[in-house]
């Protein structure tokens, strides 16, 4: 990674304004999975050990942007962090009124701000209203951008330097993820950000070969750019999950009631042709678990590449697991995003877990991205066999598309 990190700057007596991704699942005030908090600890501890202090910013969920909503409060996260760190974590209940609390920080002190998304300026976007003229819309947009800058400036005023460790939010050009960088003289990556970028850029820039990408999940349209970009990098591309059936339909197979995006059939044909030209092995399911309805108790049968009328394919079949497994086991590097079927329902989970096992057995450098594949890997009990499990689904997809992430672009080059 060619961006400066916390290691490259003096931190003693410095107040670091750090964007973290504490967007964790919370039920009745209890954090049900603290992976993202744990993932930020190395950066947090490092700043404190070096004699710096911290102002932590994060979003949580999708509040309306009109002020406090208990359900989206970061207070439980601050309390949890306090336990993990074994030192007090002050909490600022309004992220834009924390001047005194920030100024009171001494070396080793930590202040956590309330959810930045309680202000709509954080995202800084406006939607065109029905019947609104273009001019009025543009004027509202410009007004919102100004407000976003003002918010970013305020957040920046709390400290001496900006650290972005929120990989999961780095694909957003928000006040606390990107715009803030304009207002602080030093902008560095945290260690989680560094690790995520190191793995993903290694895959795109100098992959160990054979390099195999596995894509799944519901929709082709979410992964258009990813397929296109990965075809220029990989030796083999394995496509499973709901998105595979648009590809099978594009090849002229009948797919019954399986997911199909008819407006992406030409795209699928173009990608199949592109793979052929580039001599990339693009593999699709050769057999499938079909169900008579979308239900864990549905009648099922294993069918080939053609799905009978009235049936829907909800998982890849055992021969496909073997076919994909053979590619994966020979790989030296694997990138995986998206489940191979509806793994949330037991009868349609074997494909995803089979692929999980193959990745674990391959000994390849393995990078898992995307919320659903990450939870599948966690459920499989094989998480510790993976080299890197990304904390950012959307961000890792955009990175794999070859896009520049706004929250990374603003950081200082080495």
Residues at the interface with ligand AMP (CB under 6 A):
217-219, 222, 241-242, 259, 313-314, 338-339, 341-342, 344, 370, 372
Least spacing, CB of residue 283 vs ligand AMP, in Å: 16
> Does 36 qualify as catalytic in the annotation?
yes
Residue number with CB closer to ligand AMP (260 or 411)? 260
**Residue tagged active-site, from 371, 385, 402, 403:** 371
Q: Which two tokens stand for residue 398?
A: 């955009």
Least spacing, CB of residue 239 vs ligand AMP, in Å: 11
d(CA 300, CA 311): 9
**Residue tagged active-site, from 145, 153, 219, 385:** 219
> Does 351 qualify as catalytic in the annotation?
no
User: What is the edge-to-edge ordering of all strands in the sheet holding 15-19?
Assistant: 90-92, 110-113, 53-57, 15-19, 161-164, 187-189
Least spacing, CB of residue 386 vs ligand AMP, in Å: 17
Helices 318-330 and 350-362, packing angle to 10 deg: 20
Least spacing, CB of residue 345 vs ligand AMP, in Å: 8
**Residue tagged active-site, from 15, 19, 36, 117:** 36
Residue number with CB closer to ligand AMP (52 or 338)? 338
Minimal CB distance to ligand AMP: which residue?
A: 217
Residue number with CB closer to ligand AMP (11 or 397)? 397
**For residue 194, which phi and psi values (nearest 5 degrees)?**
-60, -45
Residue number with CB closer to ligand AMP (163 or 220)? 220
**For residue 307, which phi and psi values (nearest 5 degrees)?**
-95, 130
Q: Which two tokens stand for residue 289?
A: 């678990």
259-to-136, 240, 294 alpha-carbon distances in Å: 40, 12, 11
> Does 219 qualify as catalytic in the annotation?
yes
> Does 394 qualify as catalytic in the annotation?
yes
d(CA 161, CA 172): 20
DSSP annotation of 33 reads -
Least spacing, CB of residue 344 vs ligand AMP, in Å: 5
Residue number with CB closer to ligand AMP (121 or 315)? 315
390-to-234, 264, 266, 326, 332 alpha-carbon distances in Å: 19, 28, 31, 24, 18
Active site residues: 36, 219, 371, 394
């Amino acid at each position: 990674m060619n961006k400066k990190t916390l290691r490259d700057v003096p931190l003693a007596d410095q107040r670091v304004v750090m964007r973290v991704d504490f967007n964790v699942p919370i039920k009745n005030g209890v954090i049900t999975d603290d992976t993202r908090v744990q993932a930020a600890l190395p950066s947090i501890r490092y700043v404190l050990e070096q004699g710096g202090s911290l102002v932590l910013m994060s979003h949580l969920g999708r509040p309306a942007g009109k002020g406090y909503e208990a359900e989206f409060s970061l207070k439980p996260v601050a309390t949890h962090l306090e336990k993990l760190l074994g030192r007090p974590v002050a909490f600022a209940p309004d992220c834009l009124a924390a001047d005194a609390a920030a100024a009171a920080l001494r070396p080793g002190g930590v202040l956590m701000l309330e959810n930045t998304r309680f202000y709509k300026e954080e995202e800084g976007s406006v939607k065109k209203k029905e019947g609104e003229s273009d001019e009025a819309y543009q004027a509202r947009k410009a007004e919102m951008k100004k407000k976003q800058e003002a918010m970013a400036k305020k957040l920046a005023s709390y400290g001496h330097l900006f650290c972005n460790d929120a990989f999961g939010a780095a694909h957003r050009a928000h006040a606390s993820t990107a715009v803030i960088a304009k207002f602080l003289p030093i902008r560095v990556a945290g260690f989680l950000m560094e690790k995520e970028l190191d793995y993903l850029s290694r895959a795109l820039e100098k992959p160990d070969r054979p390099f195999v990408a596995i894509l799944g999940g519901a929709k082709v349209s979410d992964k258009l750019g990813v397929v296109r970009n990965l075809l220029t990098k990989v030796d083999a591309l394995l496509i499973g999950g709901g998105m595979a059936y648009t590809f099978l339909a594009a090849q002229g197979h009948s797919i019954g009631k399986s997911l199909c995006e008819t407006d992406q059939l030409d795209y699928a044909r173009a990608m199949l042709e592109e793979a052929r030209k580039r001599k990339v092995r693009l593999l699709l399911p050769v057999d499938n678990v079909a169900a008579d309805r979308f239900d864990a108790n549905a009648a099922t049968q294993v069918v080939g590449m053609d799905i009978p009328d009235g049936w829907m394919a909800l998982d890849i079949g055992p021969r496909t697991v073997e076919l994909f497994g053979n590619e994966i086991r020979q790989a030296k590097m694997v990138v995986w995003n998206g489940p191979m079927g509806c793994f949330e329902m037991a009868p349609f989970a074997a494909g995803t877990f089979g692929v999980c096992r193959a990745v674990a057995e391959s000994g390849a450098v393995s990078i898992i991205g995307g919320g659903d594949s990450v939870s599948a890997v966690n459920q499989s009990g094989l998480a510790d066999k993976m080299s890197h499990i990304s904390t950012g689904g959307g961000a890792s997809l955009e990175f794999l598309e070859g896009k520049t992430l706004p929250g990374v672009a603003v950081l200082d080059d080495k």
